[in-house]
């Protein structure tokens, strides 16, 4: 390990994000290091379907709000994560933030893009849970399956194309057939 390595603070992260050359970039702060998220069609398309279904549920039950791939959540002083889809209850979110939500999402959805490794995605799921996210869905388009991580269950559950996702206690009554998000 490089003893001269210095982590970036939240304040420095914001300053770097605000630089003109970073205006079109999506930057996360992971353990004090800035990581750029790369855009990709398939993950974006899948995220669009997932957020559509969650938002349709929220039209009937207005208990929270969603974000997409440019909505960040401050998990800690050295972690700002931007899930492909995020959901947070109104109660947990508090006042509508001007920038990132100053709390972890209740549900975080990360969709594997061609540049992601499964190992890195699984580490990220654990970081969400360590910081208070209740449920994490890792979506794997090639396999057409989702790994479900939960604070209330030690085991990771895999839901295939014929399965149904649910919102648990954070999105009561919400269900989503997996086949509905792999439409294109």
Helix/strand/coil (H, E, C) string of the chain? CCCCCCCCCHHHHHHHHCCHHHCCCEEEEECCEEEEECCCHHHHHHHHHHHHHHHHHHHHCCCEEEECCCCCEEEECCEEECCCEEEEEHHHHCCCCCCCECCCCCEEEEECCCCCCHHHHHHHHHHHHHCCCCEEEEEECCCCEEEEEECCEEEEEEECCCCEEEECCCEEEEEEEHHHHCCC
Greater pLDDT, 120 or 39: 120
Which of 67, 68, 71, 66 shows the shortest CA–CA distance to 28?
Answer: 71
The token duo for 54 is 């969650």
pLDDT (tens digit per residue) in 53-83: 999 999 999 999 999 988 899 988 888 899 9
Residue 86 has pLDDT above 90, yes or no: yes
Q: What is the mean pLDDT of residues 44-52?
A: 95
**Confidence (pLDDT) at 22:** 83
pLDDT in tens, 108-164: 999 999 888 999 999 999 999 999 999 999 999 999 999 999 988 889 999 999 999
Model confidence at 18: pLDDT above 60 = yes
* Tokens 């508090």 found at: 94
Q: Specify the pLDDT at position 184.
A: 64
Tokens 């997996």 sit at which residue?
178
pLDDT > 50? residue 1: no
Angle formed at CA 124 by CA 163 and CA 170, multiple of 5 degrees: 50
Q: Which residue would you say has higher pLDDT here, 78 or 106? A: 106
pLDDT of residue 105: 97
Burial class (CB in 10 A: 0-12, 13-18, 19+), 105: buried
Please report the pLDDT score of residue 2 as a whole number. Answer: 47
Q: In angstroms, rounded to a whole number, what is the distance separating the alpha carbons of residues 1 and 45?
A: 39
Neighbours of 164 (CB within 10 A): 11
Domains of the chain: 38-181 (3.90.1570.10)
The yes-or-no verdict on residue 85 having pLDDT over 50 is: yes
Mean pLDDT, rounded, of the chain: 90
């Amino acid at each position: 390990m490089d003893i001269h390595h210095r982590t970036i603070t939240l304040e420095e992260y914001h300053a770097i994000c605000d630089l003109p050359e970073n205006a079109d970039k999506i930057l996360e702060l992971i353990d004090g290091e800035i990581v750029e998220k790369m855009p990709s069609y398939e993950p974006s398309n899948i995220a669009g379907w997932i957020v559509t279904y969650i938002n349709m549920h929220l039209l009937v039950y207005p208990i929270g709000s969603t974000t997409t791939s440019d909505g960040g959540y401050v998990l800690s002083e050295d972690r700002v994560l931007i899930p492909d889809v995020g959901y947070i209850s109104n109660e947990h979110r508090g006042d509508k933030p001007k920038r990132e939500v100053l709390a972890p999402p209740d549900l975080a959805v990360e969709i594997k893009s061609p540049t992601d490794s499964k190992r890195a995605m699984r580490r990220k799921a654990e970081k969400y849970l360590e910081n208070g996210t209740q449920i994490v869905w890792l979506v794997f388009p090639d396999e057409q399956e989702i790994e479900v991580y939960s604070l209330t269950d030690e085991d990771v559950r895999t839901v295939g194309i014929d399965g149904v996702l649910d919102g648990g206690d954070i999105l009561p009554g919400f269900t989503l057939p997996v086949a509905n998000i792999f439409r294109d």
